[in-house]
Amino acid sequence: MNRALALIPVGLFVALIVTFYFALGRDPTKIPSVLINKPLPAFSLPGVEAGTPGLRSSDVRGQPMLLNVFGSWCISCVQEHPMLMELAHEGVVIDGIDWRDEAIDGAKWLNQNGNPYARVGNDRTGRTGIDLGVTGAPETFVVDAKGRVRYKQIGPIDADTWNNTIAPLLRKLRSES
Amino acid sequence: MRRIVLTVYALLAFAAPAFAVLPSEQLSDPKLEARARHISQELRCVVCQNQTIDDSDAPLAHDLRVILRERLLAGDSDDQAKAYLVKRYGTYVLLKPPFQENTLLLWLGPFFVLGIGGVLVVSYLLGRSRLEAAPQLSTDERARLDDLLKPDAAE
């Protein structure tokens, strides 16, 4: 009886170590999105240049696609950009939100680096980004044909996240629709 | 030396803490502003993690402070204003986590551990009282023990 009791602290200690092992390995900057499996909140943004169409939440549907949040001020976006260009070249539909940015800066950035986006909306005040629960750029939402968010990538899409997470998800969503 | 120390203390008395909240963000109604300050001290900055949005200089924290004040001006209660941000960023933004399914361990864990400690203490005390009830020394044994413990006359 007493020997069994003596094992309890040992058991608790092991449980604590296991908890720490998993909890401390998590990146606390990755806040889970509340939008998963929910439709995008409604928004309507102007384009980055006069004469460009801008972006509405109702545009981001009809087929599985990506919604990428970027900004001309964002350093990791430069790092991610070649990946997006390649994906757009392969036929992945990507819409963009130019977040917390002057439209003219966003337009200049896209002219300089290339424009991988089907449509781009300028969110100068950052309010649409906040409605989407964006914590920083870049962030990328995977949206299904019905316009529901299925996944959120925080930080740049690299080859690893693309191959192991986003590409398989898009394939699955395409087979659903 | 003493004068220097006193001077430093005197200067410290005049030092105001640095606030992230900019004068341009503040509401003219002091009551509403006080409420906004209070709420923003309970909300986590989503960029910098362990700061409140009241403390943080991050641009997004600034945006959230402004939104919070807009909600209050629009007539939201404190809870409604908080719910507005929780709807967007999840309960993660609340520095005081709510009692819900995924925080059960957090809230009840300490009581659970306390319970286990209580069981251990009680079982220890019961074990000890059993020891005290162990057979007493016989008269002979007692006499011999007293004899042994007697201070040595030679010393």
Q: How far apart are CA B92 and CA B101, in angstroms?
A: 14
Which of B51, B65, B88 to mutate to probe the A interface, most A CBs <10 Å? B88
Position A8 confidence tier, pLDDT thresholds 50, 70, 90: confident
- Domain containing B123 equals 102-149
Whether A170 maps to a domain, the answer reads yes
Section B33-40 average pLDDT: 93
pLDDT tens column, A78-106 = 999 999 999 999 999 999 999 999 999 99
CA B18 from chain centre, in angstroms, equals 23
State the total domains in chain B. Answer: 2
For A13, A33, A69, B115, B144, the CA distances from B104, given in Å and listed in that order, are 19, 21, 34, 16, 61
Write down the pLDDT at residue B154: 54
Whether A26 maps to a domain, the answer reads no
Can you give the pTM of this predicted structure? 0.78
Position B19 confidence tier, pLDDT thresholds 50, 70, 90: low
Section A8-20 average pLDDT: 89
Q: Higher model confidence: residue B87 or residue B15?
A: B87
Considering the domain architecture, whether residues B10 and B72 belong to the same structural domain is answered as yes
Considering the domain architecture, whether residues B91 and B108 belong to the same structural domain is answered as no
Q: Which residues of B touch A127 (CB under 8 A)?
A: 63, 67
Q: State yes or no: pLDDT of B134 exceeds 80.
A: no
- Domain containing A43 equals 33-176
Task: Say what the ipTM of the complex is.
Answer: 0.82
Share of chain B above pLDDT 90, in %: 39
Considering the domain architecture, whether residues B92 and B132 belong to the same structural domain is answered as no
Among the residue ranges A9-13, A65-69, A128-132, A163-167, the one predicted with the least confidence is A9-13
Considering the domain architecture, whether residues B61 and B114 belong to the same structural domain is answered as no
Write down the pLDDT at residue B17: 58
Strand partners, A125: none
Write down the pLDDT at residue A102: 95
Q: Higher model confidence: residue A9 or residue B68?
A: B68
pLDDT averaged over chain A? 92
Among the residue ranges A31-45, A163-177, B99-113, the one predicted with the least confidence is B99-113
Considering the domain architecture, whether residues B82 and B120 belong to the same structural domain is answered as no
State the total domains in chain A. Answer: 1
Q: State yes or no: pLDDT of A53 exceeds 90.
A: no
Please indicate if any CB of chain A lies within 8 Å of the CB of B88: yes
Q: State yes or no: pLDDT of B58 exceeds 80.
A: yes
Backbone angles phi, psi at A16, to 5 degrees: -65, -45
Considering the domain architecture, whether residues B86 and B121 belong to the same structural domain is answered as no
Q: B-contacting residues of A 138-167, CB under 8 Å?
A: none
Whether residue A107 contacts residue A129, with contact meaning beta carbons closer than 8 Å, is answered with: no
Write down the pLDDT at residue A158: 94
Write down the pLDDT at residue A168: 96
Q: State yes or no: pLDDT of B103 exceeds 90.
A: no
Q: How far apart are CA A56 and CA A49, in angstroms?
A: 16
Chain A residue closest to B45 (CA)? A135
Position B153 confidence tier, pLDDT thresholds 50, 70, 90: low
Q: Which residues of B touch A100 (CB under 8 A)?
A: 59
Position A1 confidence tier, pLDDT thresholds 50, 70, 90: low
| 3-state percent breakdown (helix, strand, coil) of chain B, nearest 5 | 65, 5, 35
Strand partners, A148: A39
* A&B contacts, CB < 8 Å: 46
